[in-house]
Amino acid sequence: MGSRDATEPHRASTPLELLFDLCFVVAVARAASLLHHAVTAGDVGSAVVSYVLVFFAIWWAWMNFTWFASSYDNDDVVYRLLTLVQITGVLVLAAGVPRAFEHRDFDVVFVGYVVMRIGLVSLWLRASRFDPERRTTTRRMALGVSVCMIGWAAVALAGWPLWAFIAMGFAELAVPVWAESAGNTPWHPEHIAERYGLFTLIVLGETIAASSVAFQTVVDARDADATVVFTAVGALLTVFSMWWLYFARPAGESLASSRVAFLWGYGHFVVFASAAAVGAGVGVMVDSVTGHSRLGDTGAAAAFTVPVILYVLATLFLHALLHDVQRIRWGAFGIGAALIAGATFTGQPVLLTGIVLVAMVAVMIVITERMARA
């Protein structure tokens, strides 16, 4: 299993990688749905904490495979079989999401991780055998992942205390940094950018699904309230704009260093988690305007606007890491975030948020065109 060429032209996601992503759709959908229903029931604080913990587990499992595949995907029989083992682990993880969310019981998720990491550690050890130049790095990855699994086993025996979960989360994040300090793996910048873009589409799909439910509510209602109609329209404008803002500038060409790549890759946790949470927020708003929520109007609105604001700011951060972001762009994003926050206290938070985001996209287009002419 030799390393891939980091400068290979036209490097695209493989069908096996797309199958891997497809399995994560299930886990993301379950996490977003559980967040929606828990917030609607009024259990906001506990729901947010559970969602962050569960989404971290989902995101990190995806990250582990994605970066390895970018460096060492040789698509032979052994690689395919070990990847299928990891996919099996993903499905087990997805089955454990409800228990993890509702009871902070990550036992089933842990079993899914064990299955996934049997495949992942095997692949790292295989890479260490056939890539002597990076043997220290690959062995560190195998060792770090294995030690973390022992740590997670100890956390499981302790009953999953929150402080221990957080500590192990930071330990997981530290493993790639420690391993890559011995030498960088040959990940492919454009391939990584495409992989992250595809996962962004997966999480935006939660808002698309929620928008569909909003439109279905309009269709099914004999006398649809105008607020429901405006919520459906606003949700659609929001997801279109979120897509546009994220993909406004290509990332692959600017992922030039491991330092930037780490910040960019880890920063996507906020992008992914907030994007899926926007879909949950749309669902909360639909429940609220149809009288099926225990939250007040402002609380329901915040369930939608807060994740949108986080998404906007995280997207700006990612663009700033890779590109020269002018003051006018910072100003546009800042003003947009402030206006979205203000929309929380209006009668039409989803529609107004959608309009603000469309205006932000328009401003970005004008700025880009003016720069191109200069």
Q: Write the DSSP string, 293-350.
A: -SS-HHHHHHHHHHHHHHHHHHHHHHHHHHS---HHHHHHHHHHHHHHHHHTTSS-HH
62 and 124 assigned to the same domain = yes
pLDDT at 206: 85
Q: Say yes or no: 207 and 136 in one domain.
A: no
Specify whether 230 is located in the same domain as 155. Answer: no
Residue 79 lies in a domain: yes
Tell me, yes or no, whether 9 lies in a domain: no
3-state SS assignment for residue 161: coil
Say yes or no: 294 and 233 in one domain: yes
Domain assignment present for 117: yes
With beta carbons less than 8 A apart as the criterion, state whether 155 and 164 touch. Answer: yes
Tens digit of each residue's pLDDT (9 = 90 or more) over 222-231: 666 777 888 8
pLDDT of residue 224: 60
Same domain, 170 and 194: no
Domain edge (last residue) among 180, 198, 232: 180
Do residue 233 and residue 349 come from a single domain? Answer: yes
Give the structural domain span for 126.
15-180
Structure tokens at 362: 């328009």
The CATH number of whichever domain residue 238 belongs to comes to: 1.20.1410
Whether residues 212 and 268 share a domain: the answer is: yes
Structure-block tokens of residue 341: 């926050």
Task: Tell whether 196 and 164 lie within a shared domain.
Answer: no
Block mean pLDDT (10 aa), the chain, length 374: 76 92 91 92 91 95 94 91 95 94 93 95 94 93 96 96 96 95 90 94 88 74 72 92 92 82 94 94 88 85 96 93 77 91 93 95 86 68
Residue 98: its pLDDT value, please?
92
Same domain, 160 and 209: no
How many domains, in total, are found in the chain? 2
In whole angstroms, give the CA distance from residue 285 to residue 295: 10
Write the CA distances from 5 to 13, 71, 125, 176, 353, integer angstroms. Answer: 15, 8, 19, 20, 43
Chain-centre distance of CA 82, in angstroms?
24
Between CA 21 and CA 61 the distance in angstroms is 11
DSSP for residue 292:
-
> Rounded to two decimals, what is the model's pTM?
0.93
Same domain for 368 and 250? yes
Residues 169 and 194 in one domain: no
Residues 6+ apart with CB under 8 A from 151: 168, 171
Please choose, from the candidates 180, 94, 188, the residue with its C-alpha nearest in 3D space to the C-alpha of residue 136. 180
CB 28 within 8 A of CB 269: no
152 within domain boundaries: yes
Instruction: Give pLDDT, residue 309.
Output: 97
Does some domain include residue 6? Answer: no
Helix, strand, coil content of the chain in percent (nearest 5): 80, 0, 20
Q: Exposed (0-12), middle (13-18) or buried (19+): which is 83, by Cβ within 10 Å?
A: buried
Q: 271-291: string of b/e by CB count within 10 Å (b at 16+)?
A: bbbbbbbbbbbbbbbbbbbbe
Q: Pick from 149, 180, 211: which residue ends a domain?
A: 180
Does residue 144 form part of some domain?
yes
Task: Please give the torsion angle defined by the CA atoms of residues 48, 54, 55 and 59, in that order, rounded to the nearest 10 degrees.
Answer: 160
Among the candidates 151, 180, 209, a domain finishes at 180
Task: Specify whether 229 is located in the same domain as 132.
Answer: no
Per residue, what are the HEC states of 275-294? HHHHHHHHHHHHHHHCCCCC
Task: Retrieve residue 118's tokens.
Answer: 């049997």
Asked if the structure places residue 4 within a domain, the reply is: no
The reply to whether 312 falls in a domain is: yes
